[in-house]
Amino acid sequence: MTLYESIGGETAVRAAVDEFYRRVVTDPDLAAYFADVDLARLKAHQRAFLTAAVGGPTAYQGRSMAEAHAGLGITGAAFDAVVAHLVATLTRLNVPTTEIAQIATALGPLRDDIVGSRTSTE
């Protein structure tokens, strides 16, 4: 069984993404990053990304993490805050601690691609 199946498949991923974004966009330290973003589009991409990250059936076909986040000036603290919201979301949705740790570990290596300067032109 993949991690995707064990956390409850498409339904769980959809619920997790909805809850995750509610938390992120209402966090005063993070809201500004998302002020001009079309949330419906972003959620669809995020869903696809998370699904692929946990071994689900649809491969993520969006831009690379470096491209998607270039020039946004995302700080290390903001990255940690977003990951903490994801962990809190999965905890609230009763995803077992072992699975949450696996997901958080899988996101760690993306940090260097996502954290960057506001003027990056990658």
Residues that bind ligand HEM (CB under 6 A): 30, 33-34, 37, 42, 45-46, 49, 62-63, 68-69, 72, 74, 78-79, 82-83, 107, 110, 114
Nearer to ligand HEM, 75 or 97 (CB): 75
End-to-end, the C-alpha distance of the chain in Å comes to 37
Smallest gap from residue 98 Cβ to ligand HEM (A) = 19
Smallest gap from residue 17 Cβ to ligand HEM (A) = 10
Nearer to ligand HEM, 96 or 108 (CB): 108
Nearest to 110 by CA among 44, 50, 65: 65
Q: Which long-range contacts (CB under 8 A, 24 or more apart) does 10-14 make?
A: 10/51, 10/56, 12/93, 12/95, 13/47, 13/50, 13/51, 13/54, 13/56, 14/47
Tokens read off for 119: 């003027």
Smallest gap from residue 5 Cβ to ligand HEM (A) = 20
Smallest gap from residue 81 Cβ to ligand HEM (A) = 7
